[in-house]
Amino acid sequence: MPERIGYLGLGSNVGVPRDNLAAAVAALPAHGVRVLASSSTYETEPVGDVLDQPDFLNACLRIATELEPEQLLAACKAVERELGRAAESSPGYVRHGPRPIDVDLLLLGDEPYESPRLRLPHREVTSRRFVLVPLLELEPGLTLPDGTVLADALAALPVGQRDAVRRAGEPLT
Ligand SMILES: Nc1ncnc2c1ncn2[C@@H]1O[C@H](COP(=O)(O)OP(=O)(O)OP(=O)(O)O)[C@@H](O)[C@H]1O
Ligand SMILES: Nc1nc2c(c(=O)[nH]1)N=C(CO)CN2
């Protein structure tokens, strides 16, 4: 199976967020995911259904993997579980709520993919400042399979939203 290049989004707002992001980077290789580069970390205001929660620390990773899309999703979920994230099916799980670690699959290779469990590119990749800013730090010219230029998507986001993104620290690798 040929290796493909992909991008993951990491987020944490429970415990010591930088340690959680670093632990995810350390855990990925055992699941068949090579981490090629990390963005800086960014402190970001919560967006989504739950706004009354601590700010997040977010970063993006460039990866290389021979895994197929569903296998890569399973690897991301396995890392989330290893780092103590409750499963969606467990009691008390809050969609968009606080979490020690979120590992989202943003892009894999140059093909879109869609199944009941997985959509690539991630459906929110063009609308979340906390994803676009670290992703463009890694790859300023990045485009989606449909030709969308991500720098244009960032420039088109409405200003004045409660979605500030501030550089917080050095890359994770
Ligand atoms: N590209 C993707 N990356 C990760 N999960 C995805 C993707 N596309 C679809 N999903 C599905 O979305 C489900 C919910 O994902 P997750 O638990 O990360 O949600 P969330 O972080 O609360 O919200 P969001 O999906 O808006 O980031 C996953 O179980 C997975 O099956
Ligand atoms: N700023 C920010 N907001 C979020 C984040 C996140 O990683 N960063 N993750 C969420 C759950 O998917 C919901 N809201």
Residue with the smallest CA separation from ligand 2 atom 3 is 46
The Cα 25–Cα 60 span in angstroms is: 10
pLDDT of residue 32: 98
The encoded tokens of residue 109 equal: 């290779």
CATH value at residue 105: 3.30.70.560
Q: Number of helices and strands (H, E) in the chain?
A: 4, 8
The pLDDT assigned to 162 comes to 87
Ligand 1 center to residue 99 CA distance, Å?
Answer: 13
Residue 106 contacts residue 118 (beta carbons within 8 Å): no
From the CB of 166, is ligand 1 less than 6 Å away? no
DSSP 8-state symbol, 46: -
Q: What is the pLDDT of residue 104?
A: 97
Q: How far is CA 121 from the centre of its chain?
A: 11
State the pLDDT at residue 5. 98
- Between CA 124 and CA 84 the distance in angstroms is 24
> Per the structure, how many domains does the chain have?
1
Determine the pLDDT at residue 153.
98
Question: Looking at residue 160, what is its pLDDT?
Answer: 80
User: Can you give the pLDDT at residue 170?
Assistant: 98
Quote the pLDDT of residue 139: 97
Query: Distance, CA 133 to ligand 1 centroid (Å)?
Result: 19
In the Cβ-directed half-sphere of 115, how many Cα atoms lie within 13 Å?
7
- The ipTM of this complex is 0.94
Instruction: Tell me which ligand sits closest to the C-alpha of residue 10.
Output: 2
Nearest ligand to the C-alpha atom of residue 74: 1
Residue whose CB lies within 8 A of the most ligand 2 atoms, among 18, 128, 166, for a mutation test: 128
* CA nearest to 47, candidates 104, 130, 119: 130
pLDDT of amino acid 93? 84
Whole-angstrom distance, CA of residue 10 vs CA of residue 99: 11
H-helix or E-strand containing 77?
helix 69-82
pLDDT value for 161: 81
User: In tens digits, what is the pLDDT along the chain, a chain of 173 residues?
Assistant: 789 999 999 999 999 999 999 999 999 999 999 999 999 999 999 999 999 999 999 999 999 999 999 999 999 999 999 998 777 888 878 888 888 999 999 999 999 999 999 999 999 999 999 999 999 999 999 999 999 999 999 999 998 888 999 999 999 99
pTM for this entry: 0.95
Q: What is the span of the domain harbouring residue 23?
A: 4-169
Q: Is the peptide bond before 121 cis (omega within 30 degrees of 0)?
A: yes
